[in-house]
Chains A and B, each alone.
Chain A
Amino acid sequence: MSGVSENRVLAGSPSTGEAARGGLIADVPRRALILLGLFAALLLVAPATVGDYLLSVMILVLYYAYLGLAWNVMMGFAGQFSLGHALYIGLGGYTAGALFVHYGLPPWFGMVVGAAVAAVMGGVIGALGFRFGVKGVYFALLTIAFAEFTRILFDHWGWVGASSGLYLPVEYRDTDDLWLLRGSATMFYYVILAMTAGAFILCHWLLQRRVGYYWQAIREDQEAAQTLGIDVFRYKMIAVMLSAAMTAIGGVFYAFYYNNLYPETIFSMHRSIELMLGVIIGGIGTLFGPILGAIVLTTLGEMLTGLTEDLGLDGIKQMSYGVALLVIIVYRPGGLWPWLRRRLGLEKPR
């Protein structure tokens, strides 16, 4: 066997010999590749055909898809429940935002620093939780606690604008400046599209590696994984730190797209919940679930917002999220994607 299969602990289906080929798309059915290609093409040409409003909705969809993919690494792949992912959005956004505002440093630099800061924070939370056997719901509470006290810290930290917020300078310009991430909605659309595609490919790749299978083992039965000699602590830490870093990069996008950051909103529990709702609806632990969930949820939210503005009803969006979640939990507890995948005939051949 070649070095390629050495890296992939688990061969796909040995009978077809696909394992030896390795590669990113070896295990993907042809039909799925075609559909994925069509979907990607649609996303690529969209800005040329849709209006401003629809484009802004699509940016939002991709933003939540990206965050969902990031959260899914920790919860879906490794089975570690975080209810405080807003923490990493905030850390990423504030790091890149402050470096830009105070030192004029480009967001790409802030992205690296913000991701590192978030990874360290994730590492601290993970180390505390995993070393001292804080599990499940209690671990989730730990993640909330960190998000909350970071919010309070930023609320009182003058350098980042404290509770009155941090503003990124906005100027009118005709050209897109990708280096400083200043420009049109179309530019932001392609940036978040690239980020989401990147996260999707990264996740797909990880699942085919040794680490992906170790995560699955830890998720299914941590004790068993441990007795087999998997360094459970290490692989859980990898999941948490990677998820945190990815989420922080989403936060950088947020900062430069919206141009304002308030501790009260960016670190809020509300945001942590919002980013995981899509994943639950789409299908936790699946690759496409976070994307599908973001499409469904954001579209639903936007439609209802439009409707309720006419009717003068507030809070319908939040309620609809609750209803959607209930419906999914009762009728499709695995999420929409596993069901849709079957419907589309995209099951992996065994």
Chain B
Amino acid sequence: MILEVRNLDLYYGDAQALDDVSLDIAEREIVAIVGANGAGKTSLIRTIGGMCRPARGSIRYKGVDIAGQPSHKVCELGVAQVAEGRQIFPNMTVRENLEMGAVLKRARAGKRGTMEKVFAMLPRLRERADQAAGTLSGGEQQMLAIGRCLMGQPEMVMFDEPSLGLAPTIVQEVFRTIRDLHDAGITVVLVEQNVSASLKMADRAYVLENGRVVLTGTGAELLRDEGVRQAYLGL
């Protein structure tokens, strides 16, 4: 297992966001985390990424406990996240945004080469390299957020709602890109409200409800599960 989360509790003040969450992610897996709004999906990946400090529990990444470590230390280990809502730097150019992705020590040296790889994978970014990122379309911004994350040469990427607010054709493109990354050897954690698309793509999945893991299984198993079908797929 590349990531082992055990008995994680997280509070925002008095409100409990995560309640005894445990999960495992193997190397080169695609794991989906699904659930309704407020189920704790974003809280979970923020906690893994070092943006929130858990009250209890452990997070072991390649055997190292990273629970409560600040995000810049976690990032340095190869754990990256593409945050919800495409947090790009609007006044920087596309190229500058990408360069900001390579601030980690692990990524500085190979920066030029990584950028070439990112451009090869996401050619639209090369076309728009010297344009202010704020002028890109929603889909392009999402691609930029993904490309910028890759600049850090991550081993595991956690995507938070990458399809949010995008047109259906663009969503397909985003999912295809995520699959490409997986094929290139990156471990993927996918948080999505688009339950059917993410379950189809995922090797395994966890269902979160009110901060607890209520169900886990392979993507195919969960797609057949009566409860999941009723609650999330509207069938």
Q: Is B148 an interface residue (CB 8 A)?
A: yes
Known: A216-B92, A220-B89. A227 touches B99 (CB 8 A): no
Min Cβ gap A213→B in Å is: 7
Q: Is A177 an interface residue (CB 8 A)?
A: no
A116-124, A154-162, A228-236, A322-330: which lies at the B interface?
A228-236
Q: Is A55 an interface residue (CB 8 A)?
A: no
Select B71's contact among A14, A216, A217, A227, beta carbons within 8 Å. Answer: A227
B76 near A224: Cβ-Cβ < 8 Å = no
Main secondary structure of the interface of A (DSSP, over half): helix
Bound Cα distance from A1 to B152, whole angstroms: 19
Report B-chain residues with C-beta under 8 Å of the C-beta of A231. Answer: 70, 72
Bound Cα distance from A6 to B112, whole angstroms: 12
Bound Cα distance from A230 to B91, whole angstroms: 18
A224 near B75: Cβ-Cβ < 8 Å = no
Min Cβ gap B45→A in Å is: 10
Report B-chain residues with C-beta under 8 Å of the C-beta of A13. Answer: 130
A217 near B100: Cβ-Cβ < 8 Å = yes
Report A-chain residues with C-beta under 8 Å of the C-beta of B87. Answer: 221, 223-224, 227
Nearest residue in B to A15 (C-beta to C-beta)? B130
A214 near B103: Cβ-Cβ < 8 Å = yes
Select B76's contact among A210, A214, A229, beta carbons within 8 Å. Answer: A229
B92 near A229: Cβ-Cβ < 8 Å = no
Min Cβ gap B75→A in Å is: 3
Q: Is B83 an interface residue (CB 8 A)?
A: yes
Min Cβ gap B145→A in Å is: 8
Known: A9-B103, A10-B99, A224-B83. A230 touches B88 (CB 8 A): no
Interface string of A229-257 (1 = CB under 8 A from B): 11111000000000000000000000000
B interface residues (Cβ-Cβ under 8 A, vs A): 49, 51, 70-72, 75-76, 80-83, 87-93, 95-96, 99-104, 108, 130, 148-149, 152
Can you list 20 pairs linking A and B with CB atoms under 8 Å apart?
A9-B102, A9-B103, A10-B96, A210-B103, A213-B99, A213-B100, A214-B103, A216-B91, A216-B92, A226-B51, A227-B71, A227-B82, A227-B83, A227-B149, A228-B100, A229-B71, A229-B152, A233-B70, A350-B93, A350-B130
A interface residues (Cβ-Cβ under 8 A, vs B): 6, 9-11, 13-14, 210, 213-214, 216-217, 220-221, 223-233, 350
- List the 5 shortest-distance A-B pairs measured between CB atoms, nearest first: A229-B75, A224-B87, A220-B89, A231-B72, A229-B104
